[in-house]
Amino acid sequence: MGSAATMSMAMTALCFTKSNKLTSSFRTLPRFTCSSSPFKFNISFSPSKPKPNPKPEPQTESPNQFPDDNEGQLIIPWIVRGEDGNFKLLSEPPPSFLKAMANDKTGTKKSDKNQTTKNKKKSENETKVRATAPPQYSKAARRFYNENFKDSGTRLSKVLAASGVASRRSCEDLIFEGKVTVNGSVCNTPQTRVDPAKDVIYVNGSRLPKRQPHKVYLALNKPKGYICSSGEKESKSVLSLFDDFLSSWDKKHPGVPMPRLFTVGRLDVATTGLLIVTNDGDFAQRLSHPSSNFSKEYIATVNGLVHKRHLTAISEGTTIEGVHCVPDSVELLPSMPDAQRARLRIVVHDGRKHEVRELVKNAGLEIHSLKRVRIGGFRLPPDLGLGKYIELNPTKLKALGGRVNNKVNS
């Protein structure tokens, strides 16, 4: 028994030793390498116990070779079918997969068509806002900027002219002459920004009112013999036709300064018709500047017979002050039973001095009378008599290309 037991124990020890050797040899098997493609496919098994990390050795990595940095890590390559129909191993995801991931949208799809349309419009609007809108700031930030940094107020010369002191140029002369003080100090710069409601302004020793007059827009049917001048020495100025309007100003607007009226553009002394009168300098500049391209329609009554060659000559235009001016349209109006002279409708947009008269004269005709009947989209009312005027409402003012600003400065 003793020898048999001893032999059994020896056989068990031998088997255990062989088992350990087999296990040890299995764990240290060399890596398997797939050589069927230009890429190396390494498979290894992690050991039972973690080994201390050895010092990394410098290796040159190739874009077509899988990294060996993590010992014992199982790396699965990308298997992609190539253009030739064969499978290939890649170390990186294919470009088509990366592009699909980049364009993919997260979230669940909604079956509601209205919601989808709404989201699409919202996305388009957000894209437009991001593309065109300037950076947005909070209300507190904008308020802080306006109160501390923004150059507020209005130019001193403009404030004086709007208050009825004089014309803009005459107000600048008063400022240069030292006749204007702002908060007790003489101001010689017309561009100085002031606020009549806060600043104390004196002109020739008289205090400028804090409140500014309303913006006034008037349409006048100018009679013959009146000139478009705001000079006080002119006895027959078109502004004298508004004496009744100015005399009743205090009753209609108590405590508000009287406006200083002036004409928008000019009509010569012999021309009648539509003329705009206002105290809004910005509006007058927009309406009269050639860049606005507002068309103006005239009815010219001429002496003698009008032939086709006359109309052709007018339509070809003429040179005025070094600029070749061509009318928008020329038309011979039908003869009227009570009128013996021919009438022409001429539409221009340049607004040069005596432009219509020069066009007719260049064609070999003589003007008997000239009347302006339209500016932009506003036409002279047929029931408005000579020397009469009307106040323009917002609708009529819009036809002229302007806007009403009746805000009173307090």
Domains in the chain, CATH or no CATH each: 30-47+63-91 (no CATH), 154-207 (3.10.290.10), 217-399 (3.30.2350.10)
pLDDT at 364: 93
pLDDT at 252: 84
Indicate the pLDDT class of residue 331, thresholds 50, 70 and 90: very high
Angstrom distance (rounded) from CA 175 to CA 181: 8
Indicate the pLDDT class of residue 385, thresholds 50, 70 and 90: very high
Distance of CA 127 to the CA centre of its chain: 17
- Higher-pLDDT residue of 31 and 115 is 115
Residue 259's nearest CA partner among 274, 276, 277 is 277
Asked if residue 206 has pLDDT above 60, the reply is: yes
CB burial of residue 60 (10 Å; 0-12, 13-18, 19+): exposed
Q: Which helix (H) or strand (E) holds 98?
A: helix 95-103
Angstrom distance (rounded) from CA 67 to CA 44: 13
Asked if residue 150 has pLDDT above 80, the reply is: no
- Is 219 in contact with 276 (CB distance < 8 Å)? yes
pLDDT at 180: 93
Angstrom distance (rounded) from CA 201 to CA 90: 83
Asked if residue 236 has pLDDT above 60, the reply is: yes
Task: Tell me if residue 80 falls in helix, strand or coil.
Answer: strand
9 residue type, one letter: M
Asked if residue 181 has pLDDT above 80, the reply is: yes
Across 84-95, average pLDDT: 76
pLDDT at 358: 93
Q: Catalytic amino acids?
A: 268
Q: What is the mean pLDDT of the chain?
A: 75
pLDDT at 35: 46
Asked if residue 301 has pLDDT above 90, the reply is: yes
pLDDT at 406: 45
Angstrom distance (rounded) from CA 151 to CA 271: 44
| Backbone angles phi and psi of 18, in degrees to 5 | -65, -40
Q: Where are the beta strands (DSSP E) in 226-334?
A: 262-264, 272-278, 296-303, 318-320, 323-325, 329-332
**What pTM was computed for the model?**
0.57
| Backbone angles phi and psi of 312, in degrees to 5 | -65, -40
pLDDT at 26: 45
pLDDT at 311: 94
pLDDT at 125: 58
The percentage of the chain sitting over the pLDDT mark of 70, rounded to a whole number, equals 67
Distance of CA 303 to the CA centre of its chain: 50
pLDDT at 303: 92
